[in-house]
A and B are shown apart, each in its own frame.
Chain A
Amino acid sequence: MTSLPHSHAAGALRLPTTQRRWGRPWQTWQAWKWAPYVFISPFFILFLVFGLFPLLFSMWLSFQSGSISAGLASLEFVGWENYAFALGDEWLWKSLYNTLWLGLVSGAPQHLVAIPLAAFIHTGFTRWRNLVLGAYFLPYITSTVAIALIFTTLLSTDFGVINQGLQQLARIPVLGAWLPQEPLNWMGRAETIKPAVAMVVFWRYVGFNTVLYLAAMQTIPKDLYEAATMDGATPLQQFRHITLPLLRPMMVMGVTLSVIGGLQLFEEPFILTGGRGGTNQSAMTTAMYMFRTAFEFNEWGTASAISWLLFLCIALLTWLTGRAFARGGMES
């Protein structure tokens, strides 16, 4: 990386003296100058057509009203009306509440489990490390649809494996008292849908976070721990005073990824509730509500407005996450 400018200048100077070039005029025209633009052009062409244009168009659309099926000409400018409608829509607020609830309840435990788990895998496993890590990571790379369908069977009320397991555990004294004594109608009741969805989301992403934290731990110099051991620090103290502080950048990263991903939650609740959001719309996330507004109710303008409101929420919460970590840093 550091030696670039010189080597390039050298290449440029020598180019014209190469005899072969005379037969190929397009190469004497210093191909290395324009080649990189050609090489990166596919990204920019695809981004313009399928990235930037849709973005601008969706912004424009959010100020229009009318049915898209009647053609673009039927649209009319309505100003902020779509936004006003969306903000006055109790279902949007409910979906935002659901999204935040699911994000928090599925997201926070991911990190609370992933950090100690990664620390333990880091120090406690050598031969079995890849196997254990692989087991935790596997859900992350599996099709969400397949996962959601599996959990639909596992969560079934009368015969589902999860209820069966809970019933068995409930017979154990002490521990059993904390568990439901009756089979839960997980996907049928408003109170249990959200925990069920959160559990699936937790299960899917905890391994990914573990891998992130483990990767960060592997970059911490070993001598720090050796020195601490020499000074008589227990493993727990080492974890508290060496690992955790040095893990901070990855925590910011991991929590930010969880916030961004959690607020866009769509696939898991969509499949688990058959696309409808479940009893009393208890698991209808904002992304799902937007999808339904667009493709079921055909309200393209309102759906676009909702998507921009959701984007604002994501930006705001991402910013707040960064702030929270920055403030915490100054205190400690």
Chain B
Amino acid sequence: MSLTRNPVAAMSRATAYATVAIGALLMLAPFYFMFVFATHSRSDIFSLPPPLWFGDALATNLRLLQDVVPLFWRNFGTSVYVALVATALSLFFCSLAGFAFAMYEFRFKRAAFAMVMATLLLPPFLGMIPTFMIMDAFGWLDRPIALYLPGAAGAFGIYLMRQYIASAIPRELVEAARMDGCGEFRIYWNIVLPLTTPALGTLGLISFIASWNSFLGPLVVMRSMEAYTLPLALRSMQSPVNTEWGAVMAGSALAVLPLLLLFMLSSRRLIAGLTAGAVKS
């Protein structure tokens, strides 16, 4: 750091900053072009040079989007609904299990927790075909429950909540409440849960984003257009000929926009949460 006196070091430092800055711009460029293209017609997008600034075709593209995928807004709604329910369930089940692992001593606790963590290693594709068959047998194909239920108590969420509760909530608090005659579930609901909001926020963000983006799961169990989620609807717009790229980009922008807003509001918490598992272990 004291090397800036040296002109060679100063030069190489400037080069490094420039490289990192250009890299960051390259990371953001595809998003920029997506938003720009969402406001241009297909013929504009594929012209020389390509449009670099916003146009005026956004309304047209949104109309086209409805023509190509008549159920687009319904699919959008399904995605919102599934993501909200998945988030709520995961917050409840993961914090409950995390609370149990952090605050209780019970037989088979170590084995049970090891098993929870081991499920992180199972590749999801292994159970893909049987999952389809189970959903078929339950009559859940094309129904949102097939998307939000299976992952409702994920190992990552349980781990995150356990770590937070164990570090942030003193056991004495739980003991004291029990002594005062507070039931076990009420201890969780009235005492532990309100103190867990930072971790719940992180887990909520992660769950929402995972559900919102998920593609392979819905691809397997949501078979009809009416039941599509947003990523499936977007994918269905892709055709070998005559893809309405302006409309596709408008749809993609609508899929990315909520994430972008969430990310701007909470990038630090989100980054810390997503890497929590990797850093602590």
Interface of A is mostly: helix
Contacting B at CB under 8 A, from A1-24, are: 1, 3-5, 7-8, 10-11, 14-15, 18, 20-21
Known: A138-B263, A146-B256, A159-B47. A43 touches B213 (CB 8 A): no
Give which listed residue, B16, B124, B152, B238, contacts A46 with CB less than 8 A: B152
Assess whether B171 is in contact with A146, with CB atoms less than 8 Å apart. Answer: no
Q: In the complex, A35→B257 CA distance in Å?
A: 42
Which of chain A's residues has its CB closest to B113's CB? A40
Please give, as numbers and ranges, the residues of chain B lying within 8 Å of A53 by CB-CB distance.
130, 134
Does A33 touch B at the CB level, under 8 Å?
yes
Per-position 1/0 for A149-168, Cβ under 8 A of B: 11111101011110010000
- Residue in A7, A46, A132, A254 whose beta carbon sits within 8 Å of that of B171 in the complex: A7
- Chain B contacts for A27, CB-based, 8 A: 181, 183
Residues of A within 8 A of B71 (CB): none
Does B131 make an interface contact (CB < 8 A)? yes
Bound CA span A142–B231, Å: 11
**8 Å CB interface, A35-56 against B:** 35-37, 39-40, 42-44, 46-47, 49-51, 53-55
Total A-B residue pairs with C-beta atoms closer than 8 Å? 273
CB of B195 within 8 Å of the partner chain: no
> With A18-B179, A121-B20, A135-B24 as given contacts, are A143 and B126 in contact (CB-CB < 8 Å)?
no
State the CA gap A267–B24 with chains docked (Å): 24
Among candidates A36, A153, A291, A300, residue contacting B104 with C-beta atoms closer than 8 Å: A36
**How many whole Å from B28's CB to the nearest CB in chain A?**
5
In the assembled complex, A79 has its CB within 8 A of some CB on chain B: no
A247 CB, min distance to chain B CBs, angstroms? 12
Chain A positions 114 through 151: 1 when the CB is less than 8 Å from some CB of chain B, otherwise 0: 00010011011000001011111111011111110111
Asked if B255 CB lies within 8 Å of chain A CBs, one says: yes
Within 51-67 of A, Cβ neighbours of B (below 8 Å) are at 51, 53-55, 57-58, 61
Is A58 within 8 A of B234, CB to CB?
A: no
A33 to B238, CA, bound (A): 56
**Given A27-B183, A35-B100, A46-B152, CB of A149 within 8 Å of CB of B249:** yes
Q: How many residues of B contact A (CB 8 A)?
A: 100
Interchain CB contact (< 8 A) of A11 among B125, B179, B234: B179
A46 CA to B94 CA, complexed, in Å: 12
> Is there an interface contact between B238 and A150, defined as CB atoms closer than 8 Å?
no
Q: How far is the CA of A58 from the CA of B25 in the complex (A)?
A: 45
Contacts of B188 in A (CB 8 A): 39
Interface residues of A, CB < 8 Å — how many?
Answer: 104
B126 pairs with A303, CB closer than 8 A: no
Within 8 A of B (CB), among A78-128: 117, 120-121, 123-124
Within 8 A of A (CB), among B159-189: 166, 171-172, 175, 178-179, 181, 183-185, 188
A137 partner residues in chain B, CB cutoff 8 A: 267, 271
B10 in the interface (beta carbon within 8 A): no
CA distance A239 to B164 in the complex (A): 32
| A264 B238 Cβ-Cβ under 8 A | no
Judged by a CB distance under 8 angstroms, whether B194 is at the interface is no
Residues of A within 8 A of B106 (CB): 33, 36-37
Q: Which residues of B contact A219 (CB under 8 A)?
A: 279
Q: Which of B30-38, B56-64, B196-204 contacts A (4 or more CB under 8 A)?
A: B30-38
C-alpha gap A149/B215 in the complex (Å): 13
Q: Which of A169-177, A307-315, A321-329 contacts B (4 or more CB under 8 A)?
A: A307-315
Assuming the contacts A42-B153, A43-B93, A159-B46, asked whether A50 and B116 have C-beta atoms less than 8 A apart, the reply is no
A-B contact pairs, 11 of them (CB 8 A): A39-B99, A46-B152, A46-B153, A143-B259, A146-B231, A150-B252, A154-B33, A207-B27, A250-B278, A267-B215, A311-B123
B binding-site residues for A, Cβ under 8 Å: 1-3, 13, 16-17, 20-21, 23-28, 30-31, 33-34, 37, 45-50, 93, 96-97, 99-101, 104-106, 109, 112, 115-116, 119, 122-131, 133-134, 149-153, 155, 158, 166, 171-172, 175, 178-179, 181, 183-185, 188, 209, 212-213, 215-216, 220, 230-231, 234-235, 238, 240, 245, 248-249, 252, 255-256, 259-260, 263, 267-268, 270-272, 274-275, 278-279, 281
